[in-house]
Amino acid sequence: MTNNRNIKKEIDVKLHDEVLRDALGRFVDQYSDARLKAYANVDSIEDLRDSLKEMKQETVAHIEEIADEFEASVKQKGGQFYRAKDGDAVKKYLLKICQENNVQRIVKSKSMASEEIHLNKFLIDNGLHVKETDLGEWMLSVAGQRPSHMIMPAIHLNRQQCADFFSQELQEKVPDDIDFMIHKAREVLRDEFLQADMGLTGANFGIAENGAIGLVTNEGNARLTTTLPRIHVILIGYEKLIPKIEDAAKILRLLPRNGTCQRMTSYMTMVAGPTPVIRKVNGNWIEEDRQVHVILLDNGRLKSAHDPKFKEVYQCVRCASCLNVCPIWTLVGGHVYGHIYSGGIGVILTGLLNSMEDFNKISELCIGCRKCVSICPGKINIPDLIEELRAQNVKNNGLSLPLKVVVQDILANRKIFHTLLRIASIGQKPVQTGNVIRHLPMFFAKLTNGRSLPAIADEPLRDRVSKLLKKNPPAPVKRVAFFSGCNIDFVFPKTGQSVIRVLQDLNMEVVFPEQQNCCGKPVLGMGDRETAKNIAKNNVIVFEEAVVDVILCACPTCAETWHKTYLELFADDQEWADRVRKITAKVYEFTSFVAEAYEKADRLIKTKGSKKVTYHDSCHMNRGLGIFQQPRQLLNAAVDYELVEMKNCDKCCGMAGAFGMKYSEISLPILKEKIENIKASGADTIAVACPACMMQIQGGLDQQAPEIKIKHIADIIAEHLE
């Protein structure tokens, strides 16, 4: 169903869905503050997140024993227990229970696992009467749609659309009055509950200690599903298991707050073993024990549990908050992710639980901004896991041919790459205006719709350095090698000049090893680890030979790649791991390095200038490197400037390497919002510390607010040094 998908087209449809854009826009505006308000009465969100993460990590490390204990507990209480290796096994088992017990009517309470295996369709095809009871899921089942969010399945619909589905299901005209619809649903679904033979639920957790399962709902549908029918079937995935009763609190203090911004949902229900049910048999009321069946679903979960990287998905409690803060999900909604799970975690779960083919279609729908990582209750490194899946995929299937040429023949070969960039600098002349390209002809036009593209500089930094380095101080305190990265070298060489000037002003000698290549991040983003290793080795050798005290990057992505990714790349190679560790100890990011030097020299004095400047936090700088104070300290101390903050200063600008070009239709609305926030701050200058953000925001300003200047912090400091 999904393999012939035209994802670009689907995205385009969603971007033009006004109802969706309106709903998501309003939600996103409120979510972050509402979430923090829900946490206002806890001592430390971090402590809660750590305790959840540790508990889940401990559990996955012993998943088989925990599952055995859970099974023993369920059986000991009198429940039936079945381990299903996949969806087919679940279906077969469930159908058998239905047939043996003369089940005709089933009510369901939100189970994503049942969506994952397309259970409803199977049951209906087998003649069973099946009803979803969560209001949102019920409306979607009537509409024949899939949920677009794990917690708010129908967030993409408005009241008129909902009323239409009500009318269609009930065969009567239902007005688009929300209260009316709610009460109508209560009536209709109440009958379903009372008549059902079987209640089918998922579980938010399953406790090994006593075999209980926990369900968190607001509507109370899970409570009815587990109370009224004579049979209760629980479909639970391995990742929901927890060892002890007390561990449930670790989930419950985070899940409602992150998921729905509540301190607790209306209902939190736990069921351990069979419980009494009272029903009428042949005209007489009888009390008996309900049949309870627990189906423990694998469907790819155990394989992940035993994978050193992907076991991390067990830290997920399905709160869906990674969707709520994702710059992409909040623009396009959940349906373009294609399978059941959407957003960042959805991309991963689709790959692990569904298929790599489906993953491939959506693997690029992560901008790598790490906002989700900063709020995930289980602290899952979502972008890293997506990158890991891409890498495994490339390892198994290789890059597609055009990418292979770009990556392995061009990017990995510094000479060819740099020669091509020089040719591009000449080739772009017909479309260039000053430093930017404002319009591209024909099918490239969309790339410049609302954003100008940066022009490749006439003279790259590497051709300018010999002159600059002549101004090195005679008795330097440090010898610094400048790792410029591609953007500064070829697009913003003037920023490179500023960096050199700032360092020389600190009485440091600057060197520029000419054999340096791209840091390798774009290649890694495409999943080609082998090529990235070659690039990394080249850079390590070149900078070892430079014999310096410090290696300085003025691009946070380059700094992050050196520090984090190079180490990961050579994790299995002792010799190279040692070399990398030694050399990366010298790698620093520009603003943090300079702020520290200025502090020592008493140069971090707050000034108040006439030019208002606002600062955009690059994702890699802020969440990747944890640097957000130092750039502000430098701006506060910059002569002539006054720092003013803007709304959502730490939200992604939409560039994220190649993403901004390939998915320009998503990148541009994100950029537009950024430009509006910059304008609203009243600043006449926007400062950045990341050349990729600089490229993106410069392009947006050029077309939407040309009166505002963009400057790298190095440029701002250097102004005063002239």
Partner 1 sequence: MKKVCSDWTKIFSQEFVNPIFWNDFELNAKAAHTEIIKVSNFEEAQMTIFNIIRSTKAKSIVAVGNEESTKIANIYNNLYNLGVQIYTDKFAIAENAPTADIGISTAEFAVGETGSVCVDCYSYESRVVGMLPPVHIVFLNCNNIVKNMTTAFKVISQGFKNGYMGFITGPSRTADIERVLSLGVHGPSRFIIIVVDVPAIGGMN
DSSP state of 491: I
Cβ proximity to partner 1: between 278 and 424 the closer is 278
Cβ proximity to partner 1: between 228 and 373 the closer is 228
Task: Report in angstroms how near the CB of residue 627 gets to partner 1 at its nearest.
Answer: 34
Cβ proximity to partner 1: between 40 and 547 the closer is 40
If you search the block for the tokens 């772009």, which residue do you land on?
428
Cβ proximity to partner 1: between 208 and 668 the closer is 208
Q: How far is CA 382 from CA 101, 315, 347, 349, 366, in A?
A: 43, 11, 9, 11, 9
Residues 65-84 interacting with partner 1 (rule: CB under 8 A):
77
* H or E element at residue 591: helix 590-600
CA-CA distance, 275 to 208, in Å (whole number)? 18
Of 59, 130, 136, 711, which one interacts with partner 1 (CB under 8 A)?
136
CA-CA distance, 539 to 532, in Å (whole number)? 11
Contact 397, 526 (CB under 8 A): no
Task: Report in angstroms how near the CB of residue 212 gets to partner 1 at its nearest.
Answer: 7
- Residue 641: exposure state from Cβ atoms within 10 A (0-12, 13-18, ≥19): buried
* H or E element at residue 608: none
Residues 413-442 interacting with partner 1 (rule: CB under 8 A):
none
Cβ proximity to partner 1: between 57 and 158 the closer is 158
CA-CA distance, 660 to 237, in Å (whole number)? 36
Task: Report in angstroms how near the CB of residue 209 gets to partner 1 at its nearest.
Answer: 8
CA-CA distance, 26 to 31, in Å (whole number)? 9
DSSP state of 313: G
Cβ proximity to partner 1: between 11 and 150 the closer is 150
Cβ proximity to partner 1: between 110 and 674 the closer is 110
Residues 116-135 interacting with partner 1 (rule: CB under 8 A):
133-135
Of 28, 139, 319, 580, which one interacts with partner 1 (CB under 8 A)?
139
Tokens (6 digits) for 407: 């990556």
Residues 358-417 interacting with partner 1 (rule: CB under 8 A):
none
Q: How far is CA 221 from CA 190, 336, 371, in A?
A: 10, 28, 33
Mark 702-718 as b/e (b = at least 16 C-beta within 10 Å).
bbbbeebbbbbbbbbbb
Task: Report in angstroms how near the CB of residue 38 gets to partner 1 at its nearest.
Answer: 10
DSSP bridge partners of 232: 199, 292
Cβ proximity to partner 1: between 69 and 665 the closer is 69
Task: Report in angstroms how near the CB of residue 219 gets to partner 1 at its nearest.
Answer: 5
Task: Report in angstroms how near the CB of residue 215 gets to partner 1 at its nearest.
Answer: 8
Cβ proximity to partner 1: between 23 and 411 the closer is 23
Mark 520-545 as b/e (b = at least 16 C-beta within 10 Å).
bbbbbbbbbbebbbbbbbbbbebbee
- Residue 254: exposure state from Cβ atoms within 10 A (0-12, 13-18, ≥19): buried
Residues 558-597 interacting with partner 1 (rule: CB under 8 A):
none
Task: Report in angstroms how near the CB of residue 65 gets to partner 1 at its nearest.
Answer: 19
Q: How far is CA 373 from CA 179, 348, 376, 382, 624, in A?
A: 37, 14, 5, 6, 10
Q: Per-residue contact track with partner 1, 40 to 59, x per CB under 8 A?
A: -xx-----------------
Cβ proximity to partner 1: between 78 and 669 the closer is 78
Task: Report in angstroms how near the CB of residue 278 gets to partner 1 at its nearest.
Answer: 4
**Beta strands 432-433 and 436-437: pairing type?**
antiparallel
Residues 329-358 interacting with partner 1 (rule: CB under 8 A):
none
Task: Report in angstroms how near the CB of residue 11 gets to partner 1 at its nearest.
Answer: 23
Of 10, 27, 50, 640, which one interacts with partner 1 (CB under 8 A)?
27
Task: Report in angstroms how near the CB of residue 159 gets to partner 1 at its nearest.
Answer: 5
Total residues binding partner 1 (CB under 8 A) = 71
Residues 670-689 interacting with partner 1 (rule: CB under 8 A):
none
Q: Is 456 in the site for partner 1 (CB under 8 A)?
A: no
Cβ proximity to partner 1: between 18 and 179 the closer is 179
Residues 149-208 interacting with partner 1 (rule: CB under 8 A):
152-155, 157-159, 162, 178-179, 181-183, 185-186, 189-190, 193-194
Residues 280-309 interacting with partner 1 (rule: CB under 8 A):
285, 287
Task: Report in angstroms how near the CB of residue 328 gets to partner 1 at its nearest.
Answer: 20
- Please tell me the number of Cα atoms within 13 Å of 507 on its side-chain side: 7
Task: Report in angstroms how near the CB of residue 113 gets to partner 1 at its nearest.
Answer: 20
CA-CA distance, 469 to 82, in Å (whole number)? 72
Grouping H, G, I as helix, E, B as strand and the rest as coil, residue 41 is coil
Residues 209-248 interacting with partner 1 (rule: CB under 8 A):
209-212, 214, 218-221, 223-224, 226-228, 244-246, 248
Task: Report in angstroms how near the CB of residue 621 gets to partner 1 at its nearest.
Answer: 33
Q: Write the DSSP assignment of 281-307 as a string of letters.
A: ETTEEEEEEPEEEEEEE-TTHHHHHTS
Sheet of 198-201, strand order: 80-84, 291-297, 231-237, 198-201, 105-109, 129-132
Cβ proximity to partner 1: between 34 and 550 the closer is 34
Task: Report in angstroms how near the CB of residue 200 gets to partner 1 at its nearest.
Answer: 16
Residues 242-281 interacting with partner 1 (rule: CB under 8 A):
244-246, 248-249, 252-253, 260, 262-273, 275-279
**Beta strands 213-217 and 205-207: pairing type?**
antiparallel
Cβ proximity to partner 1: between 91 and 232 the closer is 232
Cβ proximity to partner 1: between 135 and 296 the closer is 135
CA-CA distance, 717 to 719, in Å (whole number)? 5
